[in-house]
Amino acid sequence: MTTLSLPSNRFAQYWALTKPRVTQLAVFCAVIGMFLATPDLPDWHIVIAATAGIWLLAGAAFAVNCLVEREIDSRMARTARRATAQGEITASQTLVFSGAIGGLGMWILYTMVNPLTMWLTFVTFVGYAVIYTIILKPATPQNIVIGGLSGAMPPALGWAAVANDVPMQAWLLVLIIFVWTPPHFWALAMYRRDDYARSGLPMLPVTHGLEFTRFHIWLYTIALFATTMLPYAVHMSGLIYLVSAVILGAIFLAYAWRIYRHYNDVLARKTFAYSIIYLSLLFAALLVDHYIKL
């Protein structure tokens, strides 16, 4: 019985290295970019191939992240059970796994999608796995701001997959995720601040305190609300998106204001959870608006 359970357990450990919940949101935003890139429905062969390739390269980047941060992860309650942190998957095994799925992803994107998408996705991989994880994250409390561009790239990758181009509209979507990232992540970092203090990483709530972080969450959420108006302002989207962005943004602003004025860890946890729902619904509204113009 124990022998039969080992393969599935090992599969689950490798699957966890790809951070599937984070990857799902990134790939969802990439798929939205694919649909927005054309006035009609995109080629389903391209959608499937691009989704698979982007997913694989994102998973490879997250696996490298787990490898680089294995000692840090072992000191944090949230990440201590990762197989790399516990030594159940070795550094060489992680590198082979990351190289295999990343290489497969690049091959799929190059041969079944287009070279532009492959190179943009590879640059995104380097941006997250190397520039953010190795260089920025341990060096500055602004790591999530500076390194946020790699995490914001999925809509541009999806757009490139279908259009073989990355126009201004695609970069607007990247900008939205870029501005969304700090209030999203800092909400998590605040209620996990003890974890981050043990990790030794210079996260903003640890280096500058809760009050400073709360104020910056409020500022970034205001900037996010303004940024989400841009697709309507440049006639990229219509009233369905505008109304959705205003409502979703108003709720996010309410959370950010409450965090700024009356902080507690429960509220920060709820804000973090809402930020994920917010981005998902915002991009879903873009998709609906794309096909139902008002």
pLDDT per residue as tens digits for the range 182-195: 999 999 999 998 88
Stronger pLDDT, 108 or 79, i.e. the higher one: 108
At 1 the pLDDT is 34
In the chain, pLDDT over 70 holds for what percent of residues? 97
Top mean pLDDT of 78-82, 195-199, 212-216 is at 212-216
| Mean pLDDT along residues 85-113 | 94
Q: What is the mean pLDDT of residues 112-132?
A: 94
Give the model's pLDDT for residue 2: 35
Q: Is 1 exposed, middle or buried (0-12, 13-18, 19+ CB in 10 A)?
A: exposed
3-state secondary structure of 35: helix
Tell me how far CA of residue 266 lies from CA of 190, 191, 272, in angstroms: 10, 8, 10
pTM, entire model: 0.91
Of the CA atoms within 13 Å of residue 155, those in its CB half-sphere come to 26
What's at 265, amino acid-wise?
A: D
Summary mean pLDDT of the chain: 91
Q: Provide mean pLDDT across the span 243-257.
A: 98
Higher pLDDT: 83 or 26? It is: 26
Closest CA to 46 of 57, 35, 60, 58: 35
**pLDDT tens readout for residues 29-51:** 999 999 999 999 999 999 999 99
76, 196 contact by CB (below 8 A): yes
- Of 58, 219, 79, residue with least CA distance to 151: 58
- Give residue-wise pLDDT tens across range 223-245: 999 999 999 999 999 999 999 99
Residue 5's pLDDT band (cuts 50, 70, 90): very low
Sign of CA dihedral 139, 144, 146, 149: positive
Mean pLDDT confidence for 6-29: 85
H runs (alpha helix) in the chain: 2-17, 20-36, 44-68, 70-74, 83-86, 91-108, 115-126, 143-146, 148-152, 154-163, 168-191, 193-199, 204-207, 209-227, 230-233, 239-261, 265-291
What pLDDT band is residue 6 in, cutting at 50, 70 and 90?
very low
Measure the CA–CA gap between 141 and 186, rounded to whole angstroms.
10
pLDDT, one tens digit per residue, over 51-98 is 999 999 999 999 999 988 888 888 887 777 888 888 888 999 999 999
With a cut of 50, say whether residue 256 has pLDDT above it.
yes
Is 211 in a helix, a strand, or coil? helix
- At 260, the pLDDT band (50, 70, 90 cuts) reads very high
Please tell me the total number of residues recorded for the chain in this structure: 294
Label residue 294 by pLDDT band (50, 70, 90). low
pLDDT score for 175: 97
Residue 131's nearest CA partner among 118, 121, 144, 120 is 144
Separation CA 34–CA 157 (nearest Å):
8
114 close to 161: Cβ distance less than 8 angstroms: yes
Count CA atoms closer than 13 A to 82's CA, side-chain side. Answer: 29
Residues 140, 146 contacting (CB under 8 angstroms) = yes
CA distance 156 to 150: 11
| pLDDT reported for residue 37 | 96
The tokens describing 28, both together, are 């969802």
